[in-house]
Structures are given as C-alpha cells and as structure tokens.
A and B are shown apart, each in its own frame.
Chain A
Amino acid sequence: MKIVRPGRVIGFTLLALGGIVMIMPLLFMLVTSLKSNSEIYELHVLPREPTLGNYIEILTHSHFARWFLVSFVVAAVSTVSVLFFDSLIGYTLAKFRFRGSGVVFVAILSTLMIPTEMLVIPWYVMAKSMGWLDSIWGIMFPGMMTGFGVFLMRQFFAGVPDELLDAARIDGLGEFEIFWKVALPLVTPALSALAIFAFLGNWTAFLWPLIVTTSPNLYTVPVGLASLSGEFQTDWEMIMTGSSIATIPTLLVFILLQRNIVNGITLSGLKG
C-alpha cells in the first residue's frame, strides 16, 4: 500500500470536477425538460414541481413520435445491412484466395478517403432520377455497406483459423453455411462493435437526411429537431425536451453497452 501523495489527491479532485462539468450540459437539458414554462427563467437548478407535461405535449402536438420511428427504422435496417454485407465482404477478402482480391480490398478501403460531403450532391441527383427523394429508402440507401466495416471485419476474420473452415468443408457444408454458421459466430465482439457504430452513426446522421427529406413526416430525429426552431419559437423547455428525447436512447445504449463501446473504439482506433 502506497502513501497517498497530495499531487494525486489534487489530480483526482480536478478530474472529478472536470467530469461533472462535462455532463453539466446534459443535466441542465434533462432538468429543464422537466420544468414548466413559468419556471425556466428562474436560476435555481432543480424544478420545484417536476412535470412530464413537456414530453406529453411534444409527443402529441408535434411529429416527434413519428421522427423517432423513422430514425429507428433507418438505423435498424442500415445496421442489419451493414452487419451482413460488411462481414460477408470482409470474410471473402480474408479467407478466399483468388485473383483480384487485393484490388477489391484496396478499392473498398479507398472509399474511406471520400468524404460524405463530396457524395451528397451526386446522391441527390441519383435519388432524384430514381424517384427516391423524400422517402425512407432515400435516407437509407447510401449507408447499406461501409468501407470501415469491411476493413474491421476483414481484420477479425483473418484471425479465424483456416483449419476450422476446411473441417467444415470436409463435413460437406456449403460455402455460405460455413460463413454463416462457422465463421460468423467466432467474430461476435467485432460484430457488436460494428453494430454500435452503425446504429449510433445513423441515429445521429444529419447532413444527408436533411438534404433528402422535405416532408416533416419523413424527418429523422436530428432533422426534426433542427426544424423545431420554427415550430416552438423560443420555448426553451420544449426544445430541451426534444433534445432530451433525441439523447436519451443513446445514453441508454451507452449505459447498457459501455464496455463494448469503449472496447470497440480502442480496437478500431488502434488497428486503424
């Protein structure tokens, strides 16, 4: 047992204070969402009479419930698609030896260099000519597969022993079955990291949904939130309620999956 050094105590105290400062904006947001309009200009922090009235108001008198549904559908479908295709591509590139495999990998990897901002105008033109503007598919189609996920999954499948796959071949399993039943269950940590990234990425995506949607009943939560300024003017307690509704799901995901998220970030960060 070491003697407690004063430097460490000061360090810890500053660290704890800094941590509280970090979550203050979130606390103020949540607390204000529970205040009634008459209370928000008062400087005391906690509401005297906490109320869920703002939540009921916003969920019944705006499109918020609908935006939530749109965001959820977009994030869920994109995540499932990314998990399936990125792991299939990553598996093929890691485990099959064929001419052209290197070219395909480098080509897919090079898409990481292309910023989304450069693609949104051509996507818009494409969506317009295909009739996908202002539709759920229009929001989703650019994110069905990702270069990042292919890279991540290929790294992980490279660690799966070939003998295992060959044994499955001798047992008479088809190639897709080997991928689906033998290889995929061995990389679940990577799958869960990729699922979290894909879901959160889609949940918070803003630029493309903002461009592609025009009808309020097809907005995602971030786009809807951006449109609130017009609807509620400067009813800050309403805007804080909307912001809370947008934030609470990601906070829940974090509380449930903190370990996976942090591991996923360090994993992809250090390998990449």
Chain B
Amino acid sequence: MSNAKSPLQRLNETQSAYLLLLPFLLTYGLFLIYPFFRGVWISLHDWNLLQVAFNPDAKQFVGLDNYVRVMWGRNIEWSPWARPVLQVLGLLGVVASVALNRTRRLTSLTSVALGLAGAALFLISGVHAGEEGRWFDRRFWPTVGNTVLFVGLTVPGVTISALLIAAALNRETRAMSLLRTLFFLSQVLSVTVVTLIWQIMFSPRQGLIANITELAGGSPINWLTDERFAMAAIVIATIWWSLGIAMILFLAGLQDISKDLFEAGALDNCTGVRAFWHITLPNLKRTITLVIILQIILHFQVFGQSHLMTQGGPNDETQVLVRYIYQTAFRDSELGRASAMAVFLFVIMGAFSVVQFLVGREEND
C-alpha cells in the first residue's frame, strides 16, 4: 500500500460506507424500487402498450378501474354454500387449526396461518356472480384457481417425496452422496430444457410414456391436450424439476437433529418407519413449514411450464396467473390491466414472504 494518500484513503467511515453502498443502491433504486412504484402507477391508468409507445400522452388516469375490471363484476354476491367443496375445506382448515393448537400439535403461528388460510378459502370461494350477473373478466379468477390448484398439487408432491428421499439418504457414505447427486441433477436444468424433455416424454406419438403404455398393451394418453391430464402433466414435470432443492433443505434440517435421539430411540426398538414418524417428523417441523412456504412462493410464479408445454390450454385448464399477466400485457397490449394483476400477485407473494420471515425468525430464537 502506497504512502501517498489518495482521496479514496482519506475518506472517513460514513463516506466510505456510502461510497461502497452507492453501486448497489443505484441499481436497486433504478431497477427494483422505482419499477415497483411505476408498476402501481401504470395499474391506475388505461395504458395501451402500442399507443403509448407512439404517443406518451395516450394514457389516461382511471383510478382503480383496472382492479374493478379485473377482479369484480356485475351483481356479485356472497353466499355460504356457493362452492360447497372448497368452502367445507376452508371450514375444516379453521377447525383443524383450532383443534391442533389446543392439542399443541402446531405452533401458534402455524395454526394462525392455517386458520387464516381456511377462513380466506371459505370467504373467497363463496363469492359468485348472482342472477343476471357476470364477471367483467371471466378468465381472471379461473386463472387464479388454476394457479392455486397447481401449487396445491405440486407443493405436497415435492414436499412428501423430498422428505422421504432425504430421510432415506441421510447418511454420509459415498453411495448415498451419489444418489443425492442423481436426484438433484434435474434441479440445475433451465425451464426450457425441462419443458423440452417433458413435452416429448408426454407426446402420444413419440413419447417414452406412450411407448411404455403401448408395450404394456394400452393406448397412449394425449397428456398435454387432454383436459383431464394437462394439469397433471405440468405438475409431474415440475415435481421432477424442483425436488432437489427441497431434498437439500430437508437434508440440512436432518443434520441438525441430534444422533443421540435416534440412538435412544433404537434402544426402545424405535427404528425405520417408526423412527421417521416419532423422531424425524416432530424435529423437522419448522424445516417442513419453511420448505412449504418457500415452495408456495416459488410455484405460485409458475410460467414456463404452462407457457411452453400446454400454452395455457386445453380450454384454459392450465392457464396460470403469470402467463395471463404476460399475455394481457404483451399480446393484448393492456398494460394497465396487466399491472393491476401484477400488483395482486405482489400482494399474495408479499403475504407469504412475511409469513416466511416470521417463521424463519421463530426458528432462530
């Protein structure tokens, strides 16, 4: 280090700190904070992508109109039994949260979350268009429903299989680490490679699955264009793709469980499946909660699988929220409405991020 002091070296602590923070704060402000508020601002305008591109004044302030046009309709009513299955499920969630909290099977935070989710399901699914009424945007809520269904199928699928595999692989031997590598490998592939592989896997004419069904004497299923199977197909591809990260998080959680517990359990003849049920699961509760929240946040933003494998079809069965936002903005040029949906997405993701933060902090205590 030279003796002659350059201006950089004469800076005091505060000046140094701001100088070091500057590059990040500049990009952060310009490419995240500002766009976020600009997005909210766009959502308050009737904003056509093409018209505004030619003439910046072609936008018009419309207040909350876009939100109404996306999420509301004429003669919208609420009744307790509009969608019995979903609403009963919601009520069951509320009951379960109270019961499990009483018996201390769940932490208070988790049960509050479960209770709120149940109540929300009960209330939201009771909303429907009344007589002579209709939604202004017929596709929005079904799209949200598809996204929730996708999350509801993928997250348990990934969580349960990753948990079982992680519990079985929790040994520091060479064979086990090789197996871990095999399970994790698909995680590093890009979404377009994953969709490429599974599109052809599912193809009724050329696909591996069709080839196997034909060998077994069955007739191949048209997975991606059949309304009954399209959602299942993108869920299967997604589970295959994203199992690795959940497995790794579970393995990290398993490392923290003291070996003494298992040894003590073995003395009481508690091994194998029983050890998994009575020792592993209770001690892994927080990790499981975190992995579930993480997966919900991740998979709620699903786009590529739906966009590339099924193009949202057949008959909008696999249309998901981010794809609808993308289409509304860049095919229909309706930036205002698309931005309103993006704000909706942000609110939901933000709520889950807050829960994630709280659960994560609880874990550190």
- A and B held together in a complex: no
On B, residues with C-beta under 8 Å from A are none
